[in-house]
């Protein structure tokens, strides 16, 4: 008899084996979540609970979090049997993969233990410096890592559309990137907006560090046609909107992605977890996960 959706949820959270076709027992990926009591952490834990092939194996948060010691799925009204802990080693000891959407310093601390314990990582943290990105790449020599500024499938398809648009609109079009996020976001421009700029600049054979313009104020002079502009808006509880404007003479093209909630990031993260299943080491991105390269 087919299992109901609710039954699949219960199986995933309790870590029981889910009968497969012909009575087999499919793999369940043991996943730890960093920032477990935050907004994104909650969304990830809920997605893991609903996934028949994943189960929560660890939950990390800061020592100051009021959730320390509580069941990680308590906010859902269910028991996962996994307490939220500030001890990184304890949080990772039963995990195969860590999903991390925290802050750069925290992510790098987690990766030190991931490297030691052989735990793979899916990293959605943004705001890394070039030196920090190099540390991640070095860690990927020993453990497999998916690093992406945005785990959304739709956003990564948007990146691909921007490649096509930039190839065609490479002359006579001014490029501006506008991103909007909630009031709690601490970095600007967003990692997704920067990635959009990188995608476009690569196609146009421009150095983004030299052509990027971050906001404008005062008498700025006439716009340099080779620049790529960035504008950041912060307010309310907006999950994330990104628009790239190609403004030509007599027309303009806008490519926009809007996220209604964080579920899209969580589902993309689980696709990355599955992608890493047969990878021992290496640094990958969502184009690898989605087969867009």
- Active-site choice (52, 78, 160, 185): 185
Assess whether 181 carries a catalytic annotation: yes
| Rounded CA separation 152/47 (Å) | 14
CB contact set of 111 (below 8 Å; sequence gap of 6+): 121, 135, 136, 139, 145
CA-CA-CA-CA torsion sign (272, 275, 281, 287): negative
Please identify which residue in the block is written with the tokens 């920067």.
194
The H or E element spanning position 268 is helix 263-275
- Active-site choice (181, 195, 242, 257): 181
| Rounded CA separation 214/228 (Å) | 9
Assess whether 257 carries a catalytic annotation: no
Question: How far from each other are the two terminal CA atoms of the chain, in whole angstroms?
Answer: 40
Residues 179 and 231 sit within 8 Å (Cβ to Cβ): yes
Catalytic residues: 181, 185
């Amino acid at each position: 008899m087919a299992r109901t959706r609710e039954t699949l949820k219960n199986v995933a959270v309790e870590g029981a084996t889910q009968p497969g076709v012909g009575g087999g027992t499919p793999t369940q990926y043991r996943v730890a979540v960093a920032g477990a009591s935050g907004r994104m952490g909650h969304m990830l834990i809920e997605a893991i609970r609903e996934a028949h092939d994943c189960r929560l194996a660890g939950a990390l948060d800061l020592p100051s979090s009021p959730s320390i010691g509580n069941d990680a799925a308590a906010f859902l009204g269910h028991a996962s049997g996994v307490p939220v802990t500030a001890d990184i080693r304890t949080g990772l000891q039963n995990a195969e993969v860590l999903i991390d959407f925290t802050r750069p310093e925290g992510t790098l601390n987690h990766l030190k233990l991931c490297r030691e314990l052989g735990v793979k990582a899916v990293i959605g943290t943004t705001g890394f410096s070039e030196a920090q990105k190099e540390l991640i790449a070095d860690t990927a020599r020993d453990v497999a890592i998916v690093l992406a500024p945005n785990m959304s499938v739709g956003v990564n398809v948007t990146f691909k559309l921007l490649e096509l648009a930039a190839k065609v609109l490479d002359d006579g079009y001014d490029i501006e990137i506008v991103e909007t996020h909630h009031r709690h976001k601490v970095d600007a421009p967003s990692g997704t907006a920067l990635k959009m700029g990188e995608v476009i600049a690569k196609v146009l054979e421009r150095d983004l560090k030299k052509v990027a313009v971050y906001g404008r104020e005062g008498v700025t002079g006439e716009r340099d046609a080779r620049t790529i502009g960035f504008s950041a808006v912060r307010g309310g509880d907006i999950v994330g909107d990104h628009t790239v404007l190609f403004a030509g003479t007599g027309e303009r093209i806008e490519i926009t992605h809007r996220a209604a909630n964080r579920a899209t990031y969580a589902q993309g993260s689980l696709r990355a977890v599955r992608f890493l299943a047969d990878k021992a080491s290496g640094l990958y991105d969502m184009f690898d996960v989605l087969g867009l390269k």
